[in-house]
Chains A and B, each alone.
Chain A
Amino acid sequence: MSTTNEQWRVHVDPTRCIGSGICAGIAPKHFVLVHGLARPLAERVAPDDALVDAADSCPMEAVIVSEADGLRRVAPEP
C-alpha cells in the first residue's frame, strides 16, 4: 500500500465486460457484479496491488487502472 496521497482511477468498460467474475474474485473490495457485469465500487481509490492483478487478469482487458491525476495507465500492461 502506498503511503502517499496518490490516487488511482478504476474504470470497467461495460461494452467489453463479459461478467467472468475474475476481477470481483481477485479484488472483492474494489469490484462488484451488477446484473452480471463488473462495476468498480469506487472510481478513485488508494493504490492497491489487487487492482493491478485484476486489470492484468481480465481476458477482455475491460478493467483499466490509471493515475487519477495523470494520464499514465497503471494496468493492464500493453
Chain B
Amino acid sequence: MTEAPETTAPQRYPFSEPDRLNLDPRYARLRRDEPLTRIRLPYGEPVWLATRHADVRTVLGDARFSRAASVGRDEPRNTPRQQEGGILSMDPPEHTRLRRLVAKAFTARRVEELRPRTRQVAHELVDGMLAAGPPADLVEHLATPLPIRVICDLLGVPVADQDRFHTWSEAIVSTTSLSPERAQEYIDSLFAYMGELIARRREQPTDDLLGAMVRARDADDRLAEDEVVRLAAGLLAAGHETTVTQIPNFVYALLTHPDEWARLRARPDLVPGAVEELTRFVPLGATSAFARYALEDVELGGVLVRAGEPVVVSISSANRDETVFPEADRLDLTRQVNPHLGFGHGVHHCIGAQLARMELQVVLETLVARTPDLRLAVPESELIWKSGLLVRGLVAMPVSW
C-alpha cells in the first residue's frame, strides 16, 4: 500500500485522441504496473483512474463510492459546464425512487415484447438501404433510424420530431463538438420539448412510457416534476445516441475481422454471444466521466483512496483485462465466459441494456441474413470518425453487398 504520489503530476486524460476502435497501449501498462493512477481531465479536480476489471467493478458497485457526493465538488469532467443533478448524480434510495419509475419498461421480459416489431423495422430499413445502393450509408439507412424508432415507440415520442431531438441529443455526448453555449441551448431545448410532451399527457393520458411516468409522478409527490422531465429527456437522448453509435462500431469491428464475420454468417445462432463479445471488445468510450467519491477510506488497487477523493474508471480497459478475459485483445465471438462491463455495473448499470442488446442482436441477424456479402465500400483508411464526443463512432459508413 502506498500513499498518493504527491510528487508526480497527474497525467492529462484522456491519454490520446481516440484512434478508431484501438485502445491506447498505456491502459495495458497501467493494469499491470499501476492499476490506480492519478489523472487530470480537461476540467475539474485531479482524480484517480481505475483500469483493472476488479477495481472498476468495485468503484461502480460498492456503496462506499458515491455519485451524490460529487454535488458541490469541482467534478472531473470533459466540458467546462458542471453536471447539474439528474439521476446520475444520485445514490440509493433517492436514485432508486426515480429509476423505478421507468425500470419496469426495460426488463428483459418487456423488451422481448418489442423484438418482433424491431425485426420488422430492421427489415424495412434494410429494404430501403438495398434500394438506395450499393453503395449506401449504413449510418443513415439503418444505424440511426432503428434505435430512434424503437425508443420513440417505447416512450411515445413522435418519430416526426426526430430531426429536432436527434440534433439536441448530441449535447448529451458532446465534449468539444459543440460550444458550451450551443450545448446548453440544445439541452434546454430537449428539456423544454420533453416538458411539453409530459404536460400534454396530464390533459390526455396515454399508454406509453411517458404516460406511465406522469401517472407514477402524480402518485408519489416525493418525485420532483423537473426530475421526471430530465429523466425522460435522458432516456430519449441516451436511449438512442449510444445504440446509433454502437451499430456501426459493431459492423466495423466485424468487417475488419472478416474471419469473425464469416463465422457469424455460417452460424447466426452465435448472434447473442457476438453482441456480448462486441460490447466487450468495442471501446465505446473516448474518455471517462462521472467520478465516484469515496465516502470512507478504501483500499483499492494497492493504494489507499481517502474519504472524499474521486475515482473514475476505464470500462474499456476493464474489458481488456487479461486476468479475466484470456486473449483479451482478440475478438472471439464464441467466448464463453464474458463478464464484460460494457453496460457499467452497480446501481447506475445502463437501464437500456436489455433494449440495446435486443436491438443489436436484431441488426446483426438481419444483416447476416439480408447482406451476407456486406463489405466497406471505401478503403478502411477513408472512413471518417467523429471527434469531440464522449463516445467513438463513425460519421458515415459506406457499404456494399
Which of A's residues lie within 8 Å of B, judged by CB?
16, 19-22, 24-26, 28, 33, 36, 49-50, 53, 56-61, 77
Interface residues on B, range: 20 to 34
Q: Given A53-B92, A53-B93, A57-B103, is A24 in contact with B108 using a C-beta cutoff of 8 Å?
A: no
The CA-CA distance from A77 to B105 in the complex, in Å, is: 12
Query: Which residues of chain B are near A59, meaning CB under 8 Å?
Result: 103, 106-108, 349, 351, 353-354
Task: Evaluate contact between B346 and A61: CB separation under 8 angstroms.
Answer: no
Task: Evaluate contact between B354 and A50: CB separation under 8 angstroms.
Answer: no
Question: 25 A–B contact pairs at CB < 8 A?
Answer: A19-B339, A20-B345, A21-B57, A21-B60, A21-B345, A22-B346, A22-B347, A25-B61, A25-B63, A33-B57, A36-B339, A53-B96, A56-B103, A57-B96, A57-B99, A57-B103, A58-B107, A59-B107, A59-B349, A59-B351, A59-B354, A60-B108, A61-B107, A61-B108, A77-B104
The CA-CA distance from A53 to B345 in the complex, in Å, is: 17
Which of B's residues lie within 8 Å of A, judged by CB?
57, 60-63, 92-93, 96, 99-100, 103-104, 106-109, 339, 343, 345-347, 349, 351, 353-354
Task: Evaluate contact between B353 and A20: CB separation under 8 angstroms.
Answer: yes
From A16, which residue of chain B is reached at the shortest CB distance? B108
From B97, which residue of chain A is reached at the shortest CB distance? A53
Query: Which residues of chain A are near B93, meaning CB under 8 Å?
Result: 26, 49-50, 53
Task: Evaluate contact between A26 and B108: CB separation under 8 angstroms.
Answer: no
A-B pairs with beta carbons under 8 A, tally: 64
The CA-CA distance from A22 to B348 in the complex, in Å, is: 7
Task: Evaluate contact between B109 and A61: CB separation under 8 angstroms.
Answer: yes
Shortest C-beta distance, B154 to chain A (Å), equals 15
Q: Given A49-B93, A56-B100, is A21 in contact with B108 using a C-beta cutoff of 8 Å?
A: no
Query: Which residues of chain A are near B100, meaning CB under 8 Å?
Result: 53, 56-57
From B108, which residue of chain A is reached at the shortest CB distance? A60
